[in-house]
């Protein structure tokens, strides 16, 4: 069968032969036992819904074995034979170009060069899934190949509910992930619902088909590192940034450090992912012996090298050893997946990677105890460095949250706030999000590198023209992005699809998108898929990250994210998604995203102008109402540009009046 025929087939009527478990693949760790005997029967019953009754006897035993062995039913047998990657849009079967673009984006999320655990359909973060099992993937791709412009595909946590009649202006796909009743959002609830096959953790851009590899976060990380050095009034040259994690998102850190121009040390316990990042060029060197690490770092600092070094081992070793050697760390952070601390997101001291995985599956309570012990030790080592002048920031990965729950010394004197700020509180919030700058991204659906180069050139010209009249308040943001996009090609950021990201405000996103659409209309480039990270101005309500610099008491509310997705859906988005849990953990955040296909038409121009304006200014409005000065400036500027926009502006209160 051809690739197109396999897509159109969906779930095959004749079962393929079982596939061997490939040990060379970076697999997800075994999930802990969470289901009772009766619940296991329910999980198998749920999985068999996808198959004809004639196959149930064979599959029931197989699925139970998967559940017992891996803690989940992945349906490995159904994994496609064809190579998984984002093909040019022309190679996908279908009646809708928009649907073909979505198929392209789904396959990009599962590309072996992109996905963290491709055989388990997990893109990043240890548990950020595109689908729960391979039957869902096959059925979704079949539906997309059949879809017309008068239908919408409805996705329930990876399960394609089906194609429903709609209309041309409606989203082609509506995605939800993990949207459980609020009182059932504890970590064990996720474990149970996921094992039952009824819900999944879609992270931010995994389950919304908008992940573009480490590049998706490297720009934001670069801005964070650059502004971190600006905050401490120190040049990155000859300075040291220490952090940990080389997974799907955290893998961007070493590359960002190189672009910023500092020495970066990033610890990682997983050998496979460490060597993958090295082979991809995202890190320069790997060191496995802590005794070798110290002199290498000292030499790099003395010579003012721009180098990224992966330490294959536990990050606590690095913090403690550098303290003993009195090696000064300028910037420090952590980007391990502590939203998922008990299932592979963070590893304890004193155990090998393999021993940790065994302990996680076979004795989860002891594993939790060891992780919390390590978190206390981790925080204690950081405290020693900050006492000597290190600037440490939480990277929104729930490090401080989980450290506090473990009893670590991370609380401020008021015992309410953390002693260290979130990077959003100190850097990204006031410097970027409040002004409307966030991670705008695009993918060239042709798959041609030359199309990406043309879009880089177009975006650069738009930004340079805008910077001539941009107010002083956003000149730094403009210049950072111009520098970024001009260096994008030489930094070799592409992994998977021909994609790019830059931080832009509503005006910048709209003008860049319209310039792309005009270039498509002229036949200069092929179709372009627009999107963004959910980690943005408006899409995410996350009290410990995206909205951590909201100080009016509303940071624990999620109205903004819900309104964002509803508004995007009727303003022209090709697909929309709303998730529980992305970034900082199940039950800790609600976040939304979108995708939009540009085809060179007048309709696309109308949609992008309407939707992108709302997608950003919804968030600026909320941040303005929270009395954030930058957002008040930004929303007033937006109202001047668009007379139909009328937003309630807060009145400031004299603090002296509240001295009672």
Strands (E), 373-480: 391-392, 438-444
pLDDT tens digits, one per residue of 508-553:
999 999 999 999 999 999 999 999 998 899 999 999 889 999 999 9
> What was the pLDDT predicted at 248?
66
In a domain, residue 202? The reply is no
Write down the mean pLDDT value for the chain. 94
How large a percentage of the chain has pLDDT more than 70? 100
Residues 586-645 pLDDT 10s: 899 999 999 999 999 999 999 999 999 999 999 999 999 999 999 999 999 999 999 999
| Residue 526 marked as a ligand binder | no
The answer to whether residue 118 is domain-embedded is yes
Question: Is 251 one of the annotated binding-site residues?
Answer: no
65 in a known ligand binding site:
no
Asked whether residue 446 falls in the same domain as residue 382, the answer is no
Report the alpha-carbon distance of residue 92 to residue 144 in Å, rounded. 10
**Residue 267, in any domain of the structure:** yes
Phi, psi of 123 (to 5 degrees): -85, -45
Q: Is 207 part of a structural domain of the chain?
A: no
Q: Is 244 helix (H, G, I), strand (E, B) or coil?
A: strand
Tokens 């990009």: give the residue. 108
- Model confidence at 149, pLDDT cuts 50, 70, 90, reads very high
Whether 381 and 498 map to the same domain: the answer is no
Name the band, by pLDDT with cuts 50, 70 and 90, for residue 489.
confident
Is 90 exceeded by the pLDDT of residue 339? no
State whether 358 and 400 are in the same domain.
yes
> Given the DSSP bridges, would you call strands 438-444 and 540-541 parallel, antiparallel or unpaired?
unpaired
Provide the residue range defining the domain that includes 519. 429-657
In a shared domain, residues 363 and 319: yes
**Token pair listed for 176:** 């939800």
Q: Is 247 annotated as a binding residue?
A: no
Per the annotation, does 583 bind a ligand?
Answer: yes
Same domain for 251 and 351, yes or no, is yes
What's the CATH code of the domain at 630? 3.40.1770.10
Same domain for 68 and 108, yes or no, is yes
**Count of structural domains, the chain:** 3
The answer to whether 268 is a known ligand-binding residue is: yes
Same domain, 485 and 540: yes
Residue 388 pLDDT level (bands cut at 50, 70, 90): very high
Q: What is the dihedral of CA 391, 218, 604, 600, to 10 degrees?
A: 140
Average pLDDT over residues 354-380: 95
CB 52: neighbour CB atoms within 10 A?
12
Q: What is the CATH number of the domain that holds 390?
A: 3.40.50.10730
pLDDT at residue 655 is higher than 80: yes
- Based on the domain organization, do 171 and 304 belong to the same domain? no
Of 43-52, 140-149, 178-187, 440-449, least confident by mean pLDDT is 178-187
Please indicate, yes or no, if residue 574 is contained in any of the structural domains.
Answer: yes
Same domain, 22 and 145: yes
Shared-domain flag, residues 511 and 621: yes
The pTM of the full predicted model, rounded to 2 decimals, is 0.89
Note whether residue 418 is domain-resident: no
**Cβ-Cβ contacts under 8 Å for 654 (sequence gap 6 or more):** none
Sequence-separated (6 or more) residues with CB below 8 Å from residue 618: 538, 560, 563, 564, 567
Classify residue 243: in a domain, yes or no: yes
Same-domain pairing of 394 and 484: no
- Phi and psi at 392, nearest 5°, equal -110, 135
Q: Are residues 180 and 254 in the same domain?
A: no
Instruction: Indicate whether 203 belongs to any domain.
Output: no
């Amino acid at each position: 069968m051809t690739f197109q025929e396999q897509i159109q087939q969906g779930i095959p009527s004749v079962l393929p032969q079982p596939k061997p478990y490939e040990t060379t693949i970076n697999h997800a760790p075994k999930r802990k036992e969470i289901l009772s005997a009766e619940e296991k029967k329910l999980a198998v019953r749920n999985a068999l819904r996808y198959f004809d009754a004639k196959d149930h006897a064979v599959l029931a035993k197989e699925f139970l074995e998967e559940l017992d062995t891996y803690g989940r039913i992945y349906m490995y047998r159904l994994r496609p034979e064809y190579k998984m990657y984002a093909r040019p849009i022309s190679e996908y079967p279908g009646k809708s170009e928009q649907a073909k673009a979505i198929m392209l984006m789904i396959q990009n999320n599962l590309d072996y060069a992109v996905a963290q655990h491709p055989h388990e359909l997990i893109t990043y973060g240890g548990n950020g899934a595109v689908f729960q099992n391979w039957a869902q993937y096959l059925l979704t791709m079949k539906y997309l190949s059949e879809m017309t412009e008068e239908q919408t595909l409805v996705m329930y946590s990876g399960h394609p509910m089906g194609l429903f009649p709609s209309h041309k202006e409606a989203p082609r796909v509506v995605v939800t992930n993990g949207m459980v009743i609020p009182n059932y959002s504890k970590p064990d609830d996720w474990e149970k619902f996921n094992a039952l096959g009824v819900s999944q953790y879609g992270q931010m851009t995994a389950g919304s088909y908008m992940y573009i590899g480490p590049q998706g976060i490297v720009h934001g990380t670069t801005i964070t590192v650059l502004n971190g050095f600006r905050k401490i009034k120190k040049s990155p040259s000859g300075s040291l940034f220490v952090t940990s994690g080389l997974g799907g998102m955290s893998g961007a850190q070493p590359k960002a450090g190189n672009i910023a121009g500092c020495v970066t040390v990033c610890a990682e316990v997983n050998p496979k992912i460490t060597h993958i990042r090295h082979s991809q060029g995202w890190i320069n060197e790997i060191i496995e012996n802590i005794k070798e690490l110290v002199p290498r770092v000292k030499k790099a600092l003395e010579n003012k090298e721009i180098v990224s070094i992966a330490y294959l081992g536990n990050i606590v070793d690095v913090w403690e050893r550098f303290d003993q050697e009195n090696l000064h760390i300028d910037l420090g952070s952590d980007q391990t997946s502590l939203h998922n601390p008990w299932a592979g997101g963070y590893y304890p001291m004193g155990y090998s990677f393999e021993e940790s995985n065994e302990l996680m599956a076979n004795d989860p309570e002891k594993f939790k105890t060891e992780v919390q012990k390590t978190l206390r030790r981790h925080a204690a080592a950081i405290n020693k460095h900050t006492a000597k002048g290190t600037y440490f920031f939480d990277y929104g990965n729930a490090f401080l949250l989980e450290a506090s729950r473990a009893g670590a010394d991370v609380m401020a004197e008021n015992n309410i706030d953390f002693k260290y700020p979130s990077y959003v509180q100190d850097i990204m919030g006031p410097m970027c999000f409040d002004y409307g700058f966030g991670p705008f991204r695009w993918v060239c659906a042709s798959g041609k590198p030359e199309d990406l180069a043309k879009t880089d050139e177009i975006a650069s010209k738009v930004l340079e023209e805008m910077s001539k009249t941009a107010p002083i308040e956003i000149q730094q943001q403009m210049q950072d992005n111009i520098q970024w996009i001009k260096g994008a090609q030489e930094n070799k950021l592409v992994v998977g699809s021909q994609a790019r990201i830059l931080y832009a405000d509503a005006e910048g996103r709209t003008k860049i998108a319209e310039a792309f659409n005009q270039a498509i209309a002229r036949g200069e480039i092929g179709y372009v898929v627009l999107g963004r990270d959910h980690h943005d101005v408006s899409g995410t309500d996350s009290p410990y990250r995206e909205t951590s610099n909201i100080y009016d008491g509303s940071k624990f509310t999620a109205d903004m994210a819900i309104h964002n997705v509803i508004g995007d859906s009727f303003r022209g988005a090709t697909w929309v998604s709303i998730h529980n849990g992305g970034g900082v953990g199940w039950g800790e955040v609600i976040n939304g995203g979108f995708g939009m296909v540009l085809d060179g038409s007048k309709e696309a121009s109308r949609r992008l102008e309407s939707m992108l304006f709302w997608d950003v200014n919804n968030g600026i409005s909320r941040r303005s109402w929270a009395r954030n000065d930058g957002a008040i400036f930004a929303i007033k500027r937006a109202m001047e540009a668009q007379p139909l926009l009328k937003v309630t502006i807060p009145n400031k209160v004299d603090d002296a009046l509240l001295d009672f």
